[in-house]
C-alpha cells in the first residue's frame, strides 16, 4: 500500500501547518473506516510524520470500528492531548470561513462554582438577546446547573451542533435580573477580536485587545484594531489571550510582527523542529514587515490555562526582543504544532513538530509561567478596569511593577466545557 502526498503550505492550527494532502490507493475489500484507519497508521507510524512516531503502538487498523477512537489509542498519551480527526467541511468552516453551528457563546465556572458566560460572538443568536460576558446560567431545559454537574450532563445538555436545535435557558444578568428565553442554534460567525479599547494614564495611552482565535478572517479584524490603536497613539498594549487556543501561524506572525514593529522585522520568530526522520523539513519563520506597526514599549499578556499553541508562540517568540509580562495564570503548555493530511472527506491533524523561539527555548509543556497570578473575573464584562487580570495589567504598565496583592490561583477542580479537537479550538457552543 503506497502513501501518496502533495505538500503545500497552510499556516494552520496548533501553530503552523504545512498541510499535507495525502491519500491511499484504496483496497476494494476494506470498509471506509478500515481504509481511514490504515491511512492514520500509515501517516503517523510508517511514514513517521507524527512527532512521537516511535511511541505509536502497533495496533491493527482493521480491528477498530471507530476511526476517532483508533486515533486516540495511537496518540502518545503522556504528552499529546491535541492530535485530532475531523471532516474537511468542519475544518474549512472554522479556519477558512470562521463559522460553526451553535448558540454563539462559551461558559466557564467561576471560583464559587457558578456557570457564567465567558464570551459571546457578536452576531450570534444569544448576542441578539442581549446576553453578555458575566451573566450567570442557572438552568438549561429546566435542569439546574448543580444537577447538570452532578449528573454529568455537561457534554449533552446543550444538544447537538445543528441548525434549529433549541434550548431553554434561565439566566441572571449583571443587574441580578432573572431572565428566561428559548434560543436556537444556527450558523454562527466567529469574530475573533472580541473587544478593543484605549485607556489613558499619566504616562500615555494603553491599548487593550481581547483576541479569541488565529483564523483566516482574523487578519482583517486585527488590521482594523491596529489602525485604531495607531490613531490613538498608544505606547503600550494589554493583549488578552485568556481564551485563545491557537490557530493559523500566519495570523500569529501578523500579530507578533505588528506588536514588535521595526525592532523585530526579519528576525527569527519561531523555529520548527521535526523528529529525527524529518529533519529536512526543519525551518525558521521570520517576523514579517507589518502593514500597521505598533512599536509599543510594554506588552502585558493576560493568559489562563486555555491560552495555547499559537498564543503561546506569540508570547515566547516576542520575549527575546521586548519586555513581555504575563498576568492571570500559567498558559496551557503546547510548544508543538500540526500538519493536516487529507483522506477522502477527512482531515487527520497530528502533532508533527516542536516550536522554539530565536533563543531555542520551547520546553514549556507545563505552560509559560505567569508573572502575576490573578483571577479570571467572570463577574465583569470586557473592558471593566476593576476586572482582576485587566486591573493588574494596567497597574503594571502605569507603575512598572506589580501590586502587592496576594497571588490568586484558579481552582483546577472546577468543571470545564467538555470540548476536544477542533471543537476545543472553537471553544464555544
pLDDT (tens digit, 9 = 90+) per residue, 250-283? 999 999 999 999 999 999 999 999 999 999 999 9
Q: Tens digits of per-residue pLDDT, 359-412?
A: 999 999 999 999 999 999 999 999 999 999 999 999 999 999 999 888 887 888
Cell numbers 497597574 label which residue?
Answer: 395
Contact assessment for residue 66 and residue 36, using Cβ atoms and an 8 Å cutoff: no
Q: Is 41 helix (H, G, I), strand (E, B) or coil?
A: helix
Cα separation of 272 and 254, whole Å? 17
Distance of CA 244 to the CA centre of its chain: 4
Rounded to whole angstroms, how far apart are CA atoms 315 and 210? 15
Contact of 171 with 132, CB cutoff 8 Å: no
Q: pLDDT digit string (tens) for 42-81?
A: 999 999 999 999 999 999 999 999 999 999 999 999 999 9
Structural domain spans, the chain? 3-95, 100-189, 193-336+353-399
Q: pLDDT for 233-248, tens place per residue?
A: 999 999 999 999 999 9
The pLDDT-based confidence of 129 (bands split at 50, 70, 90) is: very high
Cα–Cα distance measured from residue 293 to residue 223, given in angstroms and rounded to the nearest whole number: 10
What pTM value is reported for the model? 0.92
Yes or no: say if 326 and 351 are a contact pair by the CB < 8 Å rule: no
Architecture of domain 100-189: Roll (2.30)
Distance between CA atoms of residues 259 and 230, nearest Å: 11
Instruction: Classify domain 193-336+353-399 at the CATH topology level.
Output: 2-enoyl-CoA Hydratase; Chain A, domain 1 (3.90.226)
Amino acid at each position: 500500500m503506497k502513501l501518496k502526498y502533495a505538500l503545500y503550505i497552510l499556516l494552520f492550527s496548533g501553530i503552523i501547518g504545512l498541510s499535507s494532502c495525502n491519500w491511499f490507493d484504496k483496497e476494494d475489500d476494506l470498509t471506509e473506516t478500515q481504509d481511514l484507519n490504515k491511512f492514520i497508521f500509515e501517516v503517523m507510524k510508517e511514514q513517521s510524520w507524527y512527532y512521537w512516531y516511535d511511541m505509536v503502538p502497533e495496533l491493527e487498523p482493521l480491528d477498530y470500528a471507530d476511526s476517532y477512537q483508533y486515533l486516540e489509542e495511537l496518540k502518545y498519551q503522556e504528552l499529546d492531548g491535541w492530535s485530532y480527526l475531523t471532516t474537511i467541511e468542519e475544518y474549512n468552516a472554522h479556519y477558512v470561513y470562521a463559522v460553526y453551528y451553535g448558540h454563539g457563546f462559551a461558559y466557564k465556572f467561576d471560583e464559587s462554582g457558578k456557570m457564567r458566560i465567558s464570551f459571546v460572538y457578536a452576531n450570534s443568536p444569544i448576542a441578539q438577546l442581549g446576553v453578555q460576558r458575566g451573566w450567570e446560567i442557572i438552568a438549561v431545559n429546566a435542569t439546574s446547573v448543580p444537577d447538570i454537574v452532578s449528573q454529568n450532563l455537561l457534554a449533552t445538555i446543550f444538544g447537538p451542533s445543528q441548525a434549529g436545535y433549541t434550548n431553554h435557558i434561565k439566566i441572571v444578568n449583571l443587574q441580578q435580573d432573572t431572565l428566561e428565553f428559548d434560543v436556537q442554534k444556527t450558523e454562527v460567525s466567529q469574530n475573533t477580536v472580541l473587544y478593543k479599547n484605549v485607556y489613558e494614564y499619566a504616562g500615555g495611552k494603553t491599548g487593550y485587545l481581547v483576541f479569541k482565535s488565529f483564523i483566516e478572517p482574523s487578519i482583517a479584524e486585527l488590521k482594523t484594531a491596529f489602525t485604531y490603536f495607531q490613531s490613538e497613539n498608544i505606547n503600550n498594549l494589554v493583549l488578552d489571550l485568556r481564551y485563545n487556543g491557537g490557530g493559523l501561524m500566519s495570523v500569529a506572525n501578523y500579530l507578533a510582527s505588528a506588536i514588535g514593529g521595526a525592532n523585530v522585522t526579519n528576525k527569527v520568530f519561531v523555529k520548527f523542529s521535526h523528529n529525527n526522520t524529518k529533519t529536512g523539513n526543519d525551518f525558521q519563520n521570520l517576523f514579517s514587515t507589518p502593514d500597521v506597526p505598533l512599536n509599543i514599549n510594554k506588552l502585558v499578556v493576560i493568559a489562563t490555562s486555555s491560552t495555547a499553541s499559537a498564543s503561546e508562540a506569540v508570547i515566547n517568540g516576542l520575549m527575546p526582543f521586548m519586555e513581555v509580562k504575563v498576568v492571570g495564570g500559567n498558559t496551557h503548555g503546547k510548544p508543538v504544532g500540526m500538519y493536516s493530511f487529507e483522506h477522502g472527506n477527512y482531515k487527520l491533524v497530528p502533532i508533527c513538530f516542536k516550536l522554539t523561539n530565536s533563543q531555542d527555548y520551547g520546553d514549556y509543556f507545563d505552560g509559560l509561567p505567569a508573572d502575576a497570578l490573578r483571577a479570571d473575573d467572570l463577574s465583569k464584562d470586557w473592558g471593566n478596569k476593576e476586572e482582576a487580570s485587566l486591573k493588574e495589567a494596567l497597574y503594571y504598565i502605569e507603575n512598572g511593577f506589580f501590586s502587592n496583592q496576594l497571588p490568586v490561583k484558579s481552582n483546577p477542580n472546577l468543571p470545564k466545557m467538555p470540548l476536544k479537537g477542533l471543537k476545543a479550538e472553537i471553544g464555544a457552543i
